[in-house]
Structures are given as structure tokens and as C-alpha cells.
Chains A and B, each alone.
Chain A
Amino acid sequence: MARIGPDELSRWFDAHAGAMVLYARQWLDPAAAEDAVQEVFLRLVRTPPAPRHVRAWLFRAVRNTAINRLRSRRRRTHHERTRADAGPAWFDARADDPVDPAAIQGALARLPVEQREVVVLRTWAGMGFEEIAGTVGRPVSTVFGWYRAALTSLRATMRASCNPTT
């Protein structure tokens, strides 16, 4: 397979850049997440030959880049991990949204990072569980367990936020 050309790169960017930045923000602040995603796209162009499963490759590369950056930042500054929910909103707010995006963001931010990344990959990257398992390097059953646990936690959090007295 040949390298990724400009048209193809543009197509992958339009389809997945938003979800990739959202995915990178599970570990990094917004600016660092965008840097990581941009670096991944440049690496995709330089990779000869192009990967067979580009989407899986992109998200795996974002994951590795983000975790590496987080580790190096920890080594350099000895600061606490950047809070994933810091900075601008994760989702575009629209009038017809069935739920409050900020509430979802808050609920997602409280999840363990492994559950959160499975939800992001499943929901906004449109991956199947096998593809997610390949990306995070865990068995499919584990990944599915995390996803189900994440949904249960999210539902409980949202129910609690909707009915604060109960």
C-alpha cells in the first residue's frame, strides 16, 4: 500500500480529528492534545507504507503519544496529572441536544481513564469492541466490561444530577 496522499489525509482529518482530540484529552490538556493529534497526522504521512487499518492506527498513535507526553511532563515538572476536564468544553453545545453536554462531560471526567477511553472510542470514533481491544491492548471481554461499567456509572451520575434530592 502506498503512502497517504493529501486527499486521503484530508478525509481522515475531517472524519476523526475531533474524536482524536477528545481522545487525547483523556490524558492531556487541550493544547497538548491538539499538538499530539497534529503530530500523529504528520506521522501518518511519513509512514511508508500506509497502515492497513488507518482508523485503528490513528487512535493507537494518539494514545501512545498522549501517554508518552504525560509521562515526560510528569518527569519534568513532577506535577499532578492535568485534569482531563480542565479547559474548554469537550462537546459542541446545540439546541437539540438530548442531554446537557456539560453534564456528560462532568460525568465522563469522573470515570476511570480506561473506562473513559473505551467510551470515547466506541461512541465518537465508531469503533467495534475488537478494534478497541487492539487499540488499548486488552482482551475484548475486558474492554466490553469497562464499557458496560462506564455506562452504568454514567447513568447513575446523570440520574443523581437530575434528581439531587433522591
Chain B
Amino acid sequence: MVCFASGVCFLFTPYVFGFEVVAFILLLTLSIIAMFFDILPVLLAALLSALIWDFFFLTPQFNFQVGTTEDKIMLSMYFIIVLVNAGLTYKIRKIEKEAREKEEKEQTLKLYNTLLNSLSHELRTPVSIIIAATDNLMTGSPQLSADDKVSLIHEISKASLRLNFEVENLLNMSRLESGFLKPKKDWCDIAELIYGVLRRSKEQLKAHVLIVHIEENLPLFKIDNGLMEQVLVNLINNAALYTVDGSLIEITAGSINNELVITIEDNGNGFPDDEASKVFDKFYRLKNSKAGGTGLGLSIVKGFVEAHAGKVKLKKSIFGGAKFIIEIPAESSSTIYAS
């Protein structure tokens, strides 16, 4: 950049302006450089520009010798101004960076507090249930009927499964946060994946009407089976948790423009328009949502889909509820091997 500016100046010097103007143009160039580069390259550019100015513009030209005392003073002044300029810009940038880091830290702290609030509720509820129920069982109070005991045991079981689900989500979140999450891609039979998830979530889905539509002859796709399983588990459980019994959940899978497209929609109440853009944010929970859930589920969905370079969108379902669309660009087996 210095060479370029000097070159341009050199062409015009004899006709338009003298060497003093060149010094100003070089100074301007250096100021711009200082705004974008680190201190070292700027100092190097400063030195280079001083030498160029001396060599090409100061009389005697094409020589590092400096003629008059005036020119000597000018050259050293030029050099000092450039250095001060570089130093100041560097300092300003450093302060800016510190301010940015501080702001980020505050943001993280705020997020952390939200996390603590929602987590302490979500984790403490099942833990309280387990402690209270086991206390009841251990005191062996004679008023406790056999039926009571069975229902206490059921509550313990339900609470521990809920706890397990939350812990699983937390662990997944920390996998995402660590930044080391790399999908382990392998060939996946999408029908096997979807029906496997439905089998695992059978308990949560028993009061819902399921429709599954998988495109005929859908090829295999190369994806991370475990991550996609978690994506579907979270979306399907969400649909089951936030719609009333008897609601419809439709799951489709197909291939559009070499992308794997999976949709999950329901005929529940859907998401309010003004909140739809925030649902994938970490710890975001709808204003009037019922208890259960830390607000991690959908952000894990987003994180895992994006780890596949894919996209997840929330639309309104034609059934009136929510429709999640997952699009994943993935290698597919266009040929079906039969022998």
C-alpha cells in the first residue's frame, strides 16, 4: 500500500506537487493502515515509507543521503509523527477490544444467571420429589396404603426419568458449547432413524395420533446418527409435551435438491408470531409455557442441525400448530445396492 501510494505520488511529483505533499499523502496512507493492521506491520510500513520518501522524493533523489538540515529535521519529524500515529491507533484499538470483552463477559454472566434460575427449578423439582417420596416410604407410616406406596414409587420413577432427560440436555449443551462438536457421519437409513426415535419416545407419545410419511425409495444419507436422533427426540417430545392429548403429530422425510428434509408438525396452538424468532435462543421459554423444560431443547436442535451445515425453520402448520422444517445438505446413496 505504501509502495502503491508512493508510486502514484512519484508519477505526479514533478508536475503537480512537491515532496512535502507526498509526505502528507504517505501519512494519510499510514493512518489508514494503522486502523486495520496490528502494531508490527504498521511500524514496518512506517519505516518503509520513510525510506521511500527519503530515497525517491527528498533531494538528492535516488539516494539515501539527506541534503539540507531542514530536510533532515523534516525526515525525522515525519518518522516521529508516523510512530506516534501508529502508537495511538494501537492504543485506541486495545481499549475498544477490552470494552468489547467486558461486554461479552457481562452477557455471559446474564446468560449464566438465567441458566441457573431455570436449571435450579428444573433440576430441583424432580430431586425434591425423589427425596420426599423416599422419605415417605422409609418412615413406614402405618397410614400409607399399598396403593400409596405404588404411586410413590411411580412418582420416583417419573421424577428420575425427567431428571435424566434434563441432564442429557445439559450434557449435549456443553458438548455444543465446547466448540469441539464434530459430526461423525455415517450412512443412515432415515426410516430406521425416525421409527427408532418413535420407539424410544413411545411413553410420551401414547396419547397422541402419529402420522409418518417417508418418501418411497429415500436414499441413505451420510449424517451423524446420534446427533440427528437427539434432534428428532427433542422436536417430537416438544410436540408431545406442548399439545393436548389426542393431538396430531405428523412426521415426514424426503429428499429435495439433494438435501435431506424432515418436517415435524402438530395441530396444537403453535407459537405466537412475535415469539417465533426467539424459540431457538438458548434458555428462551414462551411467556405462558407450562412447567417442564429448561429452554435448552430447541437450541440443541439448532446447534446439532447447524453442525451438519443444515438449517432448521419454524413455520405455521396447515393444521394450525407448529411446523419445524429441517434441511440438511448431505451425501446420499443415489444407487440402491441389490445383489
State yes or no: do A and B come from one complex. Answer: no
Using a CB–CB cutoff of 8 Å, the interface residues on chain B facing chain A are none
Interface residues of A (CB under 8 A from B): none
